[in-house]
Amino acid sequence: MEGGTIKIRGILLMLCASICFVTMATLVKALDDSLPLTELMFLRCLLAIPFLFASLMKRGKPLVARAWETLLLRTLFGAIAMFSFYYALTNMPLADCVFIGRTQPLLLVLAAPFIVGERAPKEAWVAVLCGLAGSLIIMRPGLDWSVASWVALLAAATSAIAHLLVRRLARTDDAGVIVFNVTVLLALISGILCYQRFQMPSWQQWGVIAGVSLLASSGQYLLTLAYRHDKAPAIAASSYASVVLSVLYGYFFWGEVPTLATWIGGLCIVTGGLWLVYSRIRSNTI
């Protein structure tokens, strides 16, 4: 019973992380291209560092991760994924960007045996494939395979690798330590890249950036905790909740009315998520 509770906890943590990430994506899209992307990355990380530092000090945790080689790899792939995702968000509709991003779990399942030595159970495959089918149904109408679409795919691929590296890091390091280290390194990288093009944000932009920083750090922390409670493919499958939320945000903030295909695809995605939850409850061996 305890093992089943742990696995359900991992799914709930990933659902909360998904809410944070999609809300963050909405704020990034709201900024449009008013700020250089590297500056947005830098300020988003910079604002989070003092709070992450204070949290580690309060809990008496170390400031440096032990598995620093894996940490550097995670930072590299995370930086590519973040920049690519921000670029795609500001150059294509929110829903299309998030839907393309849902190819990430399939890429994750394919890469998991090589990076973390995990093979997907049958239940996870059913949930992932059901969610992917729903994403394809939603993506099909009027999707233009522009440069932004390919960049979104690149973001999905590098994000999948980064997520698996988080899984490896979680075996040796505290979630807060991982997030703090990655945030500091991303701030250094993006700060160097935006130095010559830096422009002071307006008060309104500062407010949005603060929201992006808070949601991104919270989502990353929740994601890291989620990977401590269950295997990577199962956790990734539950992230399909972000697709449904992106449709809602698109409707309320940009007036995007979901089509019939969107509702059918959304049903497939929710069904996959519910099937995953059911499989977690009935099995303590997966």
Q: What residue numbers bound the domain in which 267 lies?
A: 2-282
d(C-alpha 183, C-alpha 42), whole Å: 9
Predicted TM-score (pTM) of this structure = 0.76
Q: Which of 191, 189, 215 is nearest to 74 (CA)?
A: 189
Look at the chain and report how many structural domains it folds into: 1
- Residue by residue, pLDDT tens for the chain (286 residues) are 454 555 677 778 888 888 998 999 999 988 877 888 899 999 989 998 998 899 999 999 999 888 888 999 999 999 999 999 989 888 877 887 887 777 777 777 777 888 877 776 676 777 778 877 776 776 664 544 567 778 888 998 899 899 889 888 888 888 889 889 999 999 999 999 998 888 899 999 999 999 998 898 788 788 778 877 666 556 666 676 777 788 888 888 888 777 787 678 778 877 776 676 566 556 544 4
Buried (b) or exposed (e) across 96-108, using 16+ Cβ within 10 A? bbbbbbbbbbbbb
Angle between helices 260-282 and 122-139 (to 10 degrees): 170
- Which residues touch 211 (CB under 8 Å, ≥6 apart)? 23, 24, 27
Place of tokens 């539950």: 238
3-class secondary-structure state, position 140? coil
Sign, Cα dihedral of 177, 182, 185, 191:
negative
Sign, Cα dihedral of 259, 261, 265, 270:
positive
DSSP string, 234-276: HHHHHTTHHHHHHHHHHHHHH-----HHHHHHHHHHHHHHHHH
Residue 80: its pLDDT value, please? 95
Amino acid at 145: W
Q: Which two tokens stand for residue 205?
A: 């932009």
Distances (CA, A) of 123 to 48, 116, 229, 244, 273: 37, 19, 17, 21, 11
Helices (H), the chain: 2-31, 37-59, 68-89, 94-101, 104-115, 122-139, 147-169, 175-194, 203-229, 232-238, 241-254, 260-282
CB 274: neighbour CB atoms within 10 A? Answer: 12
CB 234: neighbour CB atoms within 10 A? Answer: 27
